């Protein structure tokens, strides 16, 4: 008898502590009404509001012991819009929307969700600005709104949130300039927007990942000089000018993409040590001077379409032969000599392109692995080389 009573008591306790709180159930009903499964999707098939315990049966739902929704993951493959009733889930710590065709604005009232740590609403068709109510989220760790159609200026409060570590706003329509950053960010991704202006004076030295690619940002990158612990940096397809600081070629930087800008020089001394397996792309700039020997340690090195002059350093040759460097693109420069020993042999895995420089190039060595879009001429016309060097010596 006592055992039966004990089981009954356990059942009652479980029901009391796992049933969904009425305000949260009302919010979920509104969320369900505003979203629809796309053809082939069955995400909402488990959302039966007549069930006694939605917390244990609803897809994408996690609750506290008191029946309050603590995490909500919606999708993938949903259409519709995000209900403002999301703001009534006041114990929410994580809000995720997986890829789909959800449209419309972000919920306006994030200030009621003070416990939120993660917001990830990616690869949908959300529009409009980022609501100012996000400034109240002092516990927010991750904000990912990438691959939507959001617009407006980047709110200054976003980069001052005290616990924000990951900020991803890539591939939207944000404009204006990058705001000063005081949040302890590890990951900042603003690529493929409409951001312009110059960089703010300071970035957090905590940054490990930085992507600003595909915008219209101008000026120098001196504000990035203190970022000595970056592992990934992508500033490609902007309007940056001036010198590339040596500090960016750090011992931790495995990926550096600075192509298609207006850089004019590299500060790279012989003490520079690139990590094994690194990729460095400085192509399509206006960088002049001799090739820095210290860049020879990169596994993939793209220095093509610049204004480099002089001989190719021996270090580059050694790195190719011993297999450290697997891709070396030097085409479309003004290089004068490739010190190749005719008895040496490149590994089959090596891709080397030397075409359209101011030197005679062995077609077997220097053109066979050039990209298909490279001009078929092995060397620059002599008159181009003569004019370039004459202008450089008198400049």
Is the entire prediction scored with pTM above 0.85? yes
| 255 closest CA partner among 234, 236, 238, 273 | 234
Residue 292 inside a domain? The answer is yes
Residue 192 inside a domain? The answer is no
Whether residue 51 has pLDDT greater than 80: yes
Give the confidence band of 205 by pLDDT, cuts at 50, 70, 90.
Answer: very high
Q: Which helix (H) or strand (E) holds 389?
A: helix 382-394
Sign, CA torsion 258/263/267/270: positive
| Domain limit, last residue, from 41, 72, 103 | 103
Residue 49 inside a domain? The answer is yes
> In this predicted model, what pLDDT tens digit does every residue of 34-44 receive, in sequence order?
999 999 999 99
Q: Is the peptide bond before 76 cis (omega within 30 degrees of 0)?
A: yes
pLDDT for res 337: 92
pLDDT for res 9: 41
CATH code of the domain covering residue 89: 3.80.10.10
Backbone angles phi, psi at 71, to 5 degrees: -145, 135
> In this predicted model, what pLDDT tens digit does every residue of 336-384 receive, in sequence order?
999 887 777 888 889 999 999 998 765 555 555 788 777 666 789 999 9
Region of 285 please: left (phi>0), alpha (psi -120 to 50) or beta: beta
Residue 289 inside a domain? The answer is yes
Residue 186 inside a domain? The answer is no
| Domain limit, last residue, from 65, 86, 103 | 103
Residue 95 inside a domain? The answer is yes
Residue 247 inside a domain? The answer is no
| Domain limit, last residue, from 70, 103, 136 | 103
pLDDT for res 151: 98
Determine which of 20-24, 227-231, 271-275 has the lowest per-residue pLDDT on average. 271-275
pLDDT for res 366: 54
Question: The domain containing residue 304 runs over which residues?
Answer: 254-394
Backbone angles phi, psi at 297, to 5 degrees: -80, -5
For residue 97, give both structure tokens: 């929307």
The whole-number average pLDDT for the span 1-29 is 63
Residue 342 inside a domain? The answer is yes
Could you give the number of structural domains in the chain?
2
Whether residue 237 has pLDDT greater than 70: yes
The whole-number average pLDDT for the span 47-61 is 96
């Amino acid at each position: 008898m006592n055992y039966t009573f004990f089981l009954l008591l356990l059942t009652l306790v479980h029901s009391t502590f796992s049933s969904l709180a009425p305000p949260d159930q009302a919010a979920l009903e509104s969320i369900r009404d505003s979203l629809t499964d796309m053809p082939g999707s069955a995400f909402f098939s488990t959302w039966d509001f007549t069930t006694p315990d939605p917390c244990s049966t609803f897809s994408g739902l996690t609750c506290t012991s008191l029946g309050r929704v603590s995490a909500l993951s919606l999708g993938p493959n949903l259409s519709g819009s995000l209900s403002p009733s999301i703001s009534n889930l006041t114990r929410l710590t994580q809000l995720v929307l997986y890829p789909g065709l959800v449209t419309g604005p972000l919920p306006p009232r994030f200030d009621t969700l003070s416990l939120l740590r993660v917001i990830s609403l990616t690869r949908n068709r959300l529009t409009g600005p980022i609501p100012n109510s996000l400034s109240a989220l002092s516990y927010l760790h991750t904000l990912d709104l990438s691959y939507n159609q959001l617009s407006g200026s980047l709110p200054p409060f976003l980069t001052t949130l005290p616990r924000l570590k990951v900020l991803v706003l890539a591939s939207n329509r944000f404009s204006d300039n990058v705001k000063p950053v005081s949040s302890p960010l590890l990951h900042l991704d603003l690529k493929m927007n409409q951001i312009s202006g110059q960089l703010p004076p300071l970035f957090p030295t905590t940054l490990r990942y930085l992507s600003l690619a595909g915008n219209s940002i101008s000026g120098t990158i001196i504000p990035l000089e203190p970022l000595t612990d970056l592992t990934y940096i992508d500033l490609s397809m902007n309007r940056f000018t001036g010198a590339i600081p040596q500090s960016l070629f750090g011992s931790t930087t495995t990926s550096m993409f600075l192509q298609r800008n207006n850089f004019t020089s590299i500060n790279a001394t012989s003490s520079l040590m690139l990590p094994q397996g690194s990729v460095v792309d400085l192509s399509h700039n206006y960088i002049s001077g001799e090739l820095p020997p210290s860049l020879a340690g990169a596994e993939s090195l793209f220095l093509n379409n610049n204004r480099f002059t002089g001989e190719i350093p021996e270090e580059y040759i050694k790195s190719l032969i011993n297999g450290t460097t697997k891709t070396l693109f030097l085409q479309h420069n003004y290089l004068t000599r490739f010190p190749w020993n005719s008895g040496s042999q490149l590994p089959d895995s090596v891709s080397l392109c030397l075409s359209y420089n101011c030197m005679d190039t062995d077609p077997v060595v220097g053109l066979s692995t050039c990209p298909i879009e490279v001009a078929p001429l092995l060397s620059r016309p002599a008159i181009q080389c003569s004019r370039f060097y004459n202008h450089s010596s008198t400049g």
